[in-house]
Amino acid sequence: MRLISKRLLIIGGGIEQVRAYELAREMGLFLVGSDRSPDAPALKLADDKIIASTRDPRASLKAVLEFNEDQKIDGVMTLANDVPLTVATIATSLGLPGISIASARLAADKLLMKQAFSRAGVPVPEFREVFSAEDLKVAIKDWGYPIVIKPNDGRGSRGVLKLTAGVDLSWAYAHAKDNSDSGRVIVEDFIEGTQYSTESMVYKGCCYTACISERNYELIDKYAPNIIENGGTLPADINEATSHAIEDVVASAACAMGINNGTVKGDIIMTPEGPLVIELAARLSGGYLCTDQIPLARGVDLVRQTIKLALGQELDTAELVAEDICKLGIRYFFPEPGCIEKIEGFEELSGLEWVSKKMLFLGVGDIVESPSNHTKRVGFVHAKGNTFQEATQRAIEAAAMVRIETVPL
C-alpha cells in the first residue's frame, strides 16, 4: 500500500513527462495527470486524470476546478511542455506555489519577453514585430542579412527561419504566421556565435544553473532556411569567466521576468561582447535534458526539485549545485526524407557501455519528413565521455552506426 501524502497535478501526459510521474510516485504523492488525450502514455502512471488541452489555460482551469471540489490539489507543475500560462493560471486560481500569471505571459510571448529584457538591460538581439513581407524588407535594410523570422508564440522552432538573400520573403512571412496561434510574427537580427542552452532553478530569488550545454548547428546550411540543431555536448567547453557571464545573464533574465521561484531554460548566444538572450522559457526543458542528461552528467535532479517547489516544500540548495560527473554528447539522426525501408545498427548501440540513452521514434514503413523543425526529429543517442571531445566523438560515432534507409516518396 502506498502512503499518500499530497496531491500533485502534472500538466501533460506525454512520453517526456513519464519520468516526473515515476518520480512523483516514488515520492509517495497522489498523482493527477492532465492531457487532452486519455491515452497519453504518462497518464497510465497517474492515480487520476483530468482530460483537457494543456495548451488551453481556461479549459484546463475549468476541469481542474471541478476536480478540486472533491479532491484538493496541493501542487501543479509541468516539464517538457511549453504551457506556462496553463500552469500559472491553475496555481494562481488554487492559491498554489508557482510563477505569476504576469511572468507566464512574458514567457509565452517572445515580443513581450524581449521588451521586458530590454527595459531591464538584459542584452537581446535587435527585434521587432512585423506585419508583412514589406516589413521584412525594412528590417533587412536596417540590420542587413541575415535576419531571423519567427512566430511570436512558437515552440520547437516551428516556423523559425534564417533569412538570407534569395529566400522568398512573402513565403517566409506566411510560413512564420501559419505557425503562430496568434498570427503574430517577429524578426530579430541573426546573431553569429556559439549557442548554449541553460537549465536553472530560481529559488528565493537566487538562480542555480545546473547545466550549460553547447548546441551543435553544423547542419544549419544544409537545412536552411530552417534552423536545425544537430545535437550538442554538456557541460559546455567554456572557461569559468564565460560560464559566469552566462549564469549572470540567465539570472538577470529570470529577474526581469519576475521569476523568484521556478525553473528556467535559456537559449543563449555568445558574442565577443558577451552573451545575448534569445529567450528564457519558464519551465523544464524537453529532449530528456532535465530528466536524463543533467542528473547523469551534473548530479542535479531538477524534476525532483520542481515537484518539491510545486508543493511549497523547502529546497536544500546544496542539491541545486552541480557536480562535474561526466560529459555527454548528443546527436540526432537525420535520415533522408522518405519511407523507411530498413533500420540497422540501432539496437547494437546498447552494446556500447558509454551509450546512456537512445531512442527511435519511427519504424519501418513510417515516413521521415524533411527536418523543418525540432518536432520532426527521428531519434537520438546520448554518449558519455570523460572529456568534452570524447563525449562528442562518441555521439558522432554512435549516430553514424545507425543506418536508416528510406525510399523517396
Ligand X SMILES: Nc1ncnc2c1ncn2[C@@H]1O[C@H](COP(=O)(O)OP(=O)(O)OP(=O)(O)O)[C@@H](O)[C@H]1O
**Under 8 Å between Cβ of 26 and 1:** no
Q: Of 271-290, which residues contact ligand X (CB under 6 A)?
A: 278-279
**With CB cut-offs between 5 and 8 Å by kind, which of Mg ion, ligand X, none does residue 190 bind?**
ligand X
Residue with smaller CB distance to ligand X, 113 or 210: 113
Quick one: which of 7, 19, 49, 150 contacts ligand X (CB under 6 A)? 150
Residue 332 binds to ligand X (criterion: CB under 6 A): no
Give the shortest CB-95-to-ligand X separation in angstroms.
30
- Cβ atoms 320, 203 nearer than 8 A: yes
For the chain, helix (H) and strand (E) counts, in that order, are 11, 19
- Spatial neighbors of 313 by CB under 8 A, at least 6 apart, are none
Binding at 329: pick from ligand X, Mg ion, none (beta carbon under 5-8 Å per type): none
CA-to-CA dists, residue 299 to 137, 218, 303, 396, angstroms: 48, 29, 12, 24
Per-residue x/- mask for ligand X, residues 166 to 205, rule CB under 6 A? ----------------------x-xx---x----------
Among 41, 156, 299, 335, binds ligand X (CB under 6 A): 156
Positions 260 through 289 that interact with Mg ion (CB under 5 A): 267, 279
> Which of Mg ion, ligand X, none lies near 154, with the C-beta cut-off 5 to 8 A by kind?
ligand X
Q: How far is the CB of 282 from ligand X (least distance, A)?
A: 12
Cα-Cα-Cα-Cα dihedral sign, residues 17, 358, 355, 201: negative
Residue pointed to by grid coordinates 544544409: 222
Q: How far is CA 22 from CA 41, 291, 356, in A?
A: 12, 11, 19
Position closest to Mg ion via CB? 267
Q: How far apart are CA 365 and CA 379, in angstroms?
A: 16
- Binder of ligand X out of 125, 262, 295, 371 (CB under 6 A): 125
Binding site for Mg ion (CB under 5 A): 267, 279
Binding site for ligand X (CB under 6 A): 125, 148, 150, 154-158, 160, 188, 190-191, 195, 227, 267, 269, 278-279, 374
